[in-house]
């Protein structure tokens, strides 16, 4: 087993790509896997639901760490293919953890703030707070957490909130895609935007850095059992989707007269959204791992400077 070799699943996604950069930049031999967007040999095509392919990958690469980014992460999509989502978010995660256990490989499982119901007044949530997912997506990610932790003692869960950052297409991120709404290329006269649920948009490059730091911390200890099994990372930038649109409009110099904020919760929505799932980062801080994040405004000013009027 190489001392500094890592496999990153979901390496074609917005977080996975940043993880490849972060680990490579820190001197790790980095092997990324994907499926529909894989482009061998740069990104290996691996069906995580196929046990033989997973075993072949781990036998060939012999990693010290697997960072499991692959998941169905869009709550709205989860209700249209629940069985497919369970296969990826739960069953494939469980199988991966078992194969990591067979080879003494550290597994880092990426989870979500949607394991919490986010009722008003409950946040911030510590890592050991009681879970109560508000929707099917959160249920599958929590089930995935439980599966990997039960399957292998060297599994670590890292929960994160909604992510943004460098993307191939804006639709990859629930935050970046709001830029399309602000630009209003579709020419809509009126768009209603959620102004009730609180988000903490966090940059994928910061998450990737933290995951690399976690990998190095957990592989350099002789007593991994003494380290926490669940960690949480989040920015402190607090805003609704409507407020995100306001920020983007200010930075890009675009009008959002076509966007109307809706500050009412819809209890009958197809996908129930929590009010505030702010994650406490105390467990990471206690490990001496930096929880600094790039300010939302600063990143977007840099990213959109070519479009600023």
Determine the average pLDDT of the residues in 58-65.
96
Asked if CATH classification 3.40.30.10 holds for the domain at 5-168+202-236+280-294, the reply, yes or no, is no
- CA nearest neighbour of 85 among 135, 46, 134: 135
pTM of the model: 0.94
Q: Is the pLDDT of residue 307 over 60?
A: no
pLDDT digits (tens, 9 = 90+) for 133-184: 998 889 999 999 999 999 999 999 999 999 999 999 999 999 999 999 999 9
- pLDDT confidence of residue 215: 98
Stretch among 74-83, 88-97, 176-185, 205-214 having the lowest mean pLDDT: 74-83
Averaged over 76-81, what is the pLDDT?
Answer: 74
- Round to whole Å and give the CA distance between 128 and 283: 10
Between the CA atoms of 244, 239, 236 and 214, what dihedral angle is there, to the nearest 10 degrees? -70
List the alpha helices (DSSP H) in 152-240: 177-183, 204-219
pLDDT at position 72? 78
The verdict on whether 275 is a catalytic residue reads no
Dist. CA 292–CA 269, nearest whole Å: 35
Distance separating alpha carbons of residues 246 and 182, to the nearest angstrom:
8
**Residue of 109, 114, 125, 137 marked catalytic:** 137
pLDDT at 75: 66
Tens of pLDDT, residues 206-222: 999 999 999 999 999 98
Q: How far apart are CA 228 and CA 256, in angstroms?
A: 44
Tokens of 190: 């009126």
Token pair 């970046």 in the structure block, residue = 176
**pLDDT tier at 267, thresholds 50, 70, 90:** low
pLDDT on residue 78: 72
| Residue spans per domain, the chain | 5-168+202-236+280-294
Which tens digits make up the pLDDT trace of 3-61? 799 999 999 999 999 999 999 999 999 999 988 776 666 788 999 999 999 999 999 99
How many other C-beta atoms lie within 10 A of the C-beta of residue 212? 25
Question: pLDDT-derived band of residue 265, with 50, 70 and 90 as boundaries?
Answer: confident
Three-class SS state of 260: strand
Q: Report residue 123's pLDDT band, with 50, 70 and 90 as the boundaries.
A: very high
Lowest mean pLDDT segment, chosen from 33-42, 85-94, 162-171, 196-205: 33-42
Residue 36 CB neighbour total at 10 angstroms: 6
CA dist., res. 107 & res. 48, Å (int): 14
Q: Residue 309 pLDDT more than 50?
A: no
Find tokens 């990826």 and name the residue: 88
CA gap 12, 16 in Å, rounded: 6
Phi, psi (rounded to 5 degrees) for 202: -125, 135
């Amino acid at each position: 087993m190489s001392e500094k070799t890592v496999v990153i699943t979901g390496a074609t996604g917005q977080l996975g790509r940043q993880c490849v950069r972060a680990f490579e930049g820190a001197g790790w031999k980095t092997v990324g896997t994907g499926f529909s967007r894989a482009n061998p040999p740069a990104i290996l095509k691996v069906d995580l639901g196929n046990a033989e392919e997973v075993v072949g990958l781990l036998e060939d690469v012999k990693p010290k760490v697997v960072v499991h980014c692959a998941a169905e992460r869009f709550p709205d999509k989860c209700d249209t293919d629940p069985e497919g989502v369970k296969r990826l978010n739960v069953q494939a995660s469980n199988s991966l953890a078992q194969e990591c256990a067979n080879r003494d490989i550290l597994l880092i499982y990426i989870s979500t703030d949607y394991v919490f119901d986010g009722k008003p007044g409950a946040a911030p949530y510590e890592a050991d707070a009681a879970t109560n997912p508000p929707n099917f997506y959160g249920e599958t990610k929590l089930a995935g957490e439980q599966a990997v932790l039960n399957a292998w003692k060297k599994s670590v869960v890292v929960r994160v909130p909604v992510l943004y950052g460098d993307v191939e297409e804006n639709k990859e991120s629930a935050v970046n895609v709001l830029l399309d709404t602000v630009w209003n290329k579709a020419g809509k006269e009126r768009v209603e935007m959620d102004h009730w649920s609180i988000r903490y948009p966090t940059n994928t490059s910061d998450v990737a850095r933290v995951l690399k730091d976690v990998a190095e911390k957990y592989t350099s200890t002789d007593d991994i059992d003494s380290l926490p099994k669940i960690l949480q990372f989040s920015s402190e930038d607090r805003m609704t989707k409507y407020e995100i649109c306001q920020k983007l409009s200010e930075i890009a110099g675009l009008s959002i007269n076509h966007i109307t904020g809706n500050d009412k919760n819809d209890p009958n929505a197809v996908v129930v959204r929590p009010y505030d799932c702010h994650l406490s980062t105390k467990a990471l801080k206690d490990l001496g791992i930096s929880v600094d994040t790039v300010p939302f405004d600063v990143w977007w000013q840099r990213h959109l400077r070519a479009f600023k009027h």
